Structure 1
Amino acid sequence: MHSRSPQSPRLLSLLPMPATEFAMAFTSTPRGARLARLFVAHCLDSWGHPHTSAVNETLTLITAELCANAVQHGRVPGRDFHVRLVAEADGARLRVEVSDTRAERRPAATVPADPDAESGRGLLLVAALADGWGVTDRRGGPGKTVWATVGVPSGT
């Protein structure tokens, strides 16, 4: 008999998703980043933004970039990163927040020094896709929170 981790993607359909907020901790590993992306996509789908919608695809891509940065640049051994997805009360905007415990490494959206570099463009992508993004101190603990907002087209 196989037991499944509570973060198993196969269990996504069994998890209740609140109507306006989703928050969860993930291990600071590539697998944790992948699971965070899957959970956000599923949550958005359950909120009425299908997987193939522009809102879902945009926020899922933003989440993937922010989680990858948290794992690569914000990792502290033994500490998880946290993801929070919130729908504003009027439903006009969605906000994703990714928090890690490395306060001293604050991101900046700048062009990579080497145009042939294989990394360094993630936040440029976030800046291009999001209506707004920024960095704040992490609430309730050490570290930082990188957030991004995306508008929801009326009628969706």
Structure 2
Amino acid sequence: MPTSPEHPRADFSLVFPPDPSWVRTAREAVRTALHTADRPDLADTALLLTSEAVTNAVTACRRSGCAAPVTLYAEWGALGTLRVLVSDDAPGMPSPRALTRAEAEAENGRGLFLIDNCATEWGVCHHGPGPGKAVWFQVGGAGS
């Protein structure tokens, strides 16, 4: 979808404490970006994956006692792709795992499984001199 002056695509970031109440705010920020860019076709997937990535970061921080803020950064790429990156300073590197049927139907524990199965592209990378990491995903483009 071409960018026009009426529908600008703006990159943005959001920094917030590792508190579960901020998951909704992060999701709404991405919803606003999608609305501004006139990309409702990406909303369901982008909002689900944002919720999962932010929840994972908040949970990792809370479990490890890390009080450093979580950062969400979103950027528009070529061909109308949206890339969302969520970083935290909690130790450990997440990885997806195969889920049993019961785990797939559970209320939690399936964030990276969903990201792996729903994103066009995604990854995890270590950042900084400390223990932090970032999980990123992309929606739209070739795989959408």
1:62 is aligned to 49
1:116 is aligned to 102
Q: 2:82 aligns with which of 94, 117, 122?
A: 94
Cα 1:87–1:78 change in 2 (3 A) is: same
2:37 is aligned to 47
Stretch moving more, 71-80 or 119-128: 71-80
Q: 2:126 aligns with which of 124, 133, 137?
A: 137
Q: Once superposed, which parts of structure 1, at least 4 consecutive aligned residues long, lie more than 6 Å away?
A: none
Spell out the pairing of 1:74-89 with structure 2 (5 A cutoff).
74-75=61-62, 76-88=65-77
Do residues 73 (structure 1) and 60 (structure 2) align?
A: yes
Higher relative contact order (CA closer than 8 Å, sequence separation 6+): 2
Q: Which has the higher helix share?
A: 2
Q: Structure 1 CA distance, aligned partners of 2:29 and 2:129?
A: 23
Identity %: 32
Q: Structure 2 CA distance, aligned partners of 1:22 and 1:139?
A: 21
1:54-89 Cα shifts (integer Å, max 9, x gaps) = 30221111100000101112344431100001001x
Q: Structure 2 CA distance, aligned partners of 1:152 and 1:20?
A: 17
- What amino acid is the match of 1:47? A
Deviation at 1:152, TM superposition (A): 4.0
RMSD of aligned Cα (Å): 2.3
SS at match of 1:30: coil
Give me the TM-score of the superposition, normalised by structure 1: 0.73
Stretch moving more, 131-140 or 141-150: 131-140
Aligned residues: 131
Structure 1 gaps of 5+ residues are 1-17
